[in-house]
């Protein structure tokens, strides 16, 4: 009986352990200029967390208001569970000319890239859940990172008023339009990540966050 309650120590692969080790000294009080954000977007076969799969992860790193093109991340994943309905949105065919990797390898590379960065995405819950489900399938725990949602933050820039009917969800297209970001490569993971990164920077400026503001103040927003 006691044995049943005792935590079974599961052995995780090395890449997970090294990912996890970054969170030992997590500090939410560091100024924003020293925070590395990973702005990401995933393309999936559909919107069902159980049946659908990630086809691509695209991300850029952002630190101190700078986006480093050299540190962008773009991986195409070989998926057997393929839902033909989503092809039209994303334009990723099962047999594209790009090099594709297995889901396990993609996760391994992504975690090595991600480290303890703060995840930024548009409607983060969807992307993070998709990644978490994939981790789960591979016998791994969920992501440990702090997350920020540009959809949520964008709404904070607006005076929400019932008369203006602006208490609603904003798509990445809406956000880009309102923030004057020219839309390019919409519906490719890396392209959307890039748009999200630009939107994120513009939103921070509108919310009057300074490079010295703490990460905590942004997460609590």
Q: Closer to another protein by CB, 140 or 150: give it.
A: 150
Give the per-residue contact string, 173-212, with another protein (x = CB under 8 A; - = no): -------x-x-xx--xxxx-xx---x--xx--x-------
Q: CB of residue 73 vs another protein: minimum separation in angstroms?
A: 9
Min separation Cβ 68 and another protein, Å: 5
Choice between 11 and 182, CB closer to another protein:
182
Give whichever of 177 and 184 is closer to another protein, judged by the CB atom: 184
CB of 51 or CB of 156, closer to another protein: 156
Task: Give the interface size with another protein as a residue count (CB under 8 A).
Answer: 27
Binding track over 41-80 against another protein, x by CB under 8 A: -----------------x-x----xxxxxx-x-x-x----
Long-range interactions of 27-31: CB distance < 8 A, separation 24+: 28/146, 28/214, 28/215, 28/216, 28/219, 29/214, 29/215, 29/216, 30/214, 30/215, 31/211, 31/212, 31/213, 31/214, 31/215
- Dmax of the chain from CA atoms? 62
Q: What six digits make up the tokens of 69?
A: 């093109």
Q: In the bound complex, what is the minimum distance in angstroms from residue 116's beta carbon to another protein?
A: 22
134's CB contacts (< 8 A; 6+ apart) are 53, 54, 103, 107
Q: Which of 60, 58, 69, 44 is nearest to 117 (CA)?
A: 60
When the beta carbons of 40 and 140 are compared against another protein, the nearer one is: 40
Enumerate binding residues for another protein (CB under 8 A): 58, 60, 65-70, 72, 74, 76, 98-99, 180, 182, 184-185, 188-191, 193-194, 198, 201-202, 205
């Amino acid at each position: 009986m006691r044995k049943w309650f005792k935590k079974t120590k599961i052995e995780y692969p090395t890449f997970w352990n090294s990912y996890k080790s970054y969170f030992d000294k997590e500090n939410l009080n560091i100024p924003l200029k020293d925070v590395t954000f990973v702005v990401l977007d995933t393309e999936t076969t559909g919107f069902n967390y159980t049946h659908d799969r990630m086809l691509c992860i695209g991300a850029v790193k952002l630190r101190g208001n700078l986006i480093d093109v050299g540190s962008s991340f773009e991986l195409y994943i070989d998926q057997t569970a393929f839902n033909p309905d989503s092809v039209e949105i994303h334009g990723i065919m099962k047999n594209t000319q790009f090099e594709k990797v297995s889901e396990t390898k993609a996760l391994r590379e992504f975690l090595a890239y991600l480290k303890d960065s703060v995840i930024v995405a548009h409607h983060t819950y969807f992307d993070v859940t998709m990644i978490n489900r994939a981790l789960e399938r591979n016998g791994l725990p969920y992501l440990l990172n702090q997350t920020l949602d540009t959809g949520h933050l964008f709404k904070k820039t607006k005076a929400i008023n019932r008369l203006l009917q602006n208490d609603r969800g904003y798509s990445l297209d809406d956000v880009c339009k309102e923030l004057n970001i020219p839309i390019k490569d919409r519906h490719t993971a890396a392209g959307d990540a890039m748009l999200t990164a630009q939107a994120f920077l513009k939103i921070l400026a509108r919310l009057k966050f300074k490079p010295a503001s703490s990460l905590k103040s942004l997460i609590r927003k």
